[in-house]
Amino acid sequence: MPQPTVPDMLASVATFAIEGVGSRQVVVEADVRRGLPVFTIVGLPDAAVREARERVRAALLNSSLEFPLQRLTANLAPADVRKAGPSFDLALAAAVLAASGQVPRETLGSYALCGELSLGGALRPIRGALAMAFGARAAGFERLIVPVENGGEAALVGGLEVLGVPDLARMVAVLRGEWRPEAPAPQAPFAAPAADDLGDVRGQTDAKRALELAAAGGHNLLMIGPPGAGKTMLARRLPGILPDPSFDEAVEITRVHSVAGLCDGGLSSRRPFRAPHHTISTSGLVGGGSTPRPGEISLAHRGVLFLDELAEFSRSALEALRQPLESGCVEVSRGQRAISFPAAAIMIGACNPCPCARPRNECVCNEVDHARYARRLSGPLLDRIDLVCELDATAPLDLVEAGTAAETSATVRARVTAARARQRERLAGTGALSNSEMDARSTRRHERREGGARSRLIEGHARRALTGRGHDRVLRLARTVADLAGRDSIRPEDVEEALGFRLGAEAVAA
């Protein structure tokens, strides 16, 4: 049976819409026919997409191209998915040009186009170019046209020809076969500034050990101490002892930041460190909004989320962290859609021991004040924190003896890197990258306890009841202690150290 011919006034082109940290293919169809001059866009467009009518019209005319003075209808399919943002401008312009016969329609089948238009026809960079490039490759397209500023970012995806064009006129030249831009090279990782050194911190031996364990196994940490004890100073030195991200991790980080509009164009060479203010909203912390965007915990993916003054955050924001801290992702439901954002970050919390925040010998808080302040951090949230460390004010002798040698970040980082390498080798094929990401089955498979470790666990339960989650987290933390020591099996002293940090969480919850 012969296929029906497509009329000359109809054309379609593919583009992509951001969905979470991925992308979804959208087909832009344009129909031009006789009638009163009107330009209608259908397919659940938001205000930014509807305003593309004026941008496309002005861009075509200012690029010495013809805008058809006829009845023009553009459809964004699938029509039941809301379209948001200005990245559809370029595809709309290409569909109009093809429907009006100004560019060949047959060439559009192998192209996907994404870009925002200025009124003069220049292309402006867009958010999520990396996610769109992954989507174009997965959908089988041979070529992707993006603004020239996004070319290096999109070129990080192999198996796809990326064409970075500066304006609408050059895009038309590409589709007509009259011009070809140079292939953009994947941009080199941007230089990371020097991290603060752990050697600057005086005293606080237990806190430094807790920080090393958190870095080595990806464990969450809570530091409790008076103002000026060094909580923030320690937290800001955690990125300096973390190993550099692998290529796959760097792509994950870059992809999230690209969707959020924070990407500088190159592959991320450092792990993110995010420190939101305690007045942040729930959606700002975990993600969401009418058009779902990643929150701070997703922007800290594969890095560090530092929550200073943890007890001052709103109760709803802290409780929203419970599921992401457990699963490593955030599920946002809007209407009939469920969008997932990655959230595998190390959470570092810091708070004062009581409302007045004075040293113990000067504290004016009574038992009721202490109990009320402790209730700001719920038991289920604390159950997801592996390490709790109490800090005292730094001893004057440690501050005065500034010349005393302290262990530097480079030394600690070498141990952390070696421990992470052991974990990657042991967990290969499971999808987990660190001990904190192991599930219950993997935890028991890789615990390898020596004699006496079991009795120490039973003693820990007797001293203060551990939940089932707490039991598994003690084993994972003990596994990290053994990895830092270069051992394959968990010794009783490893369990004892893990219980010492873990029972801090149980004490706070009590």
Tell me the two tokens of residue 354.
Answer: 């009581």
What value does the mean pLDDT of the chain take? 88
Q: Which of 448, 427, 449, 424 is nearest to 439 (CA)?
A: 427
Please compute the mean of the pLDDT values over residues 130-151 and round it to a whole number: 95
Please compute the mean of the pLDDT values over residues 386-394 and round it to a whole number: 87
CA distances, 395 to each of 169, 236, 248, 357 (Å):
68, 21, 43, 18
- Determine the pLDDT at residue 94: 97
- Determine the pLDDT at residue 470: 81
- Determine the pLDDT at residue 1: 40
**Are the C-beta atoms of residues 305 and 345 closer than 8 Å to each other?**
yes
Q: Is residue 281 part of a domain?
A: no
pLDDT band at residue 96, thresholds of 50, 70 and 90?
very high
Q: Is residue 304 part of a domain?
A: no
Greater confidence (451 vs 47) lies with 47
Q: Which of 129, 271, 267 is nearest to 186 (CA)?
A: 267
Q: Is residue 240 part of a domain?
A: no
What pTM was computed for the model?
0.88
Tens digit of pLDDT for each residue in 284-339? 999 988 788 899 999 999 999 999 999 999 999 999 999 999 999 999 887 667 88
Please compute the mean of the pLDDT values over residues 411-425 and round it to a whole number: 95
Q: Is residue 229 part of a domain?
A: no
Classify 42 as helix, strand or coil: strand
Pairing of strands 10-19, 22-33: antiparallel
- Determine the pLDDT at residue 2: 46
The structural domain count of the chain equals 1
Q: Is residue 61 part of a domain?
A: yes
pLDDT band at residue 510, thresholds of 50, 70 and 90?
very low
Q: Is residue 447 scored above 80 in pLDDT? A: no
Least confident of 91-95, 128-132, 262-266, 454-458: 454-458
- Determine the pLDDT at residue 364: 86
Q: Is residue 81 part of a domain?
A: yes
- Determine the pLDDT at residue 444: 81
Tell me the two tokens of residue 360.
Answer: 């113990």
Q: Is residue 374 scored above 80 in pLDDT? A: yes
- Determine the pLDDT at residue 468: 77
pLDDT band at residue 73, thresholds of 50, 70 and 90?
very high
The beta strands (E) that lie in 309-369 are given as 329-334, 337-342, 346-351
Instruction: Provide the CATH number for the domain around residue 150.
Output: 3.30.230.10
Q: Is residue 147 part of a domain?
A: yes
Greater confidence (2 vs 105) lies with 105
Q: Is residue 79 part of a domain?
A: yes
- Determine the pLDDT at residue 333: 82
Tens digit of pLDDT for each residue in 167-177? 999 999 999 99
pLDDT band at residue 443, thresholds of 50, 70 and 90?
confident
Q: Is residue 218 scored above 80 in pLDDT? A: yes
15: containing domain: 10-175
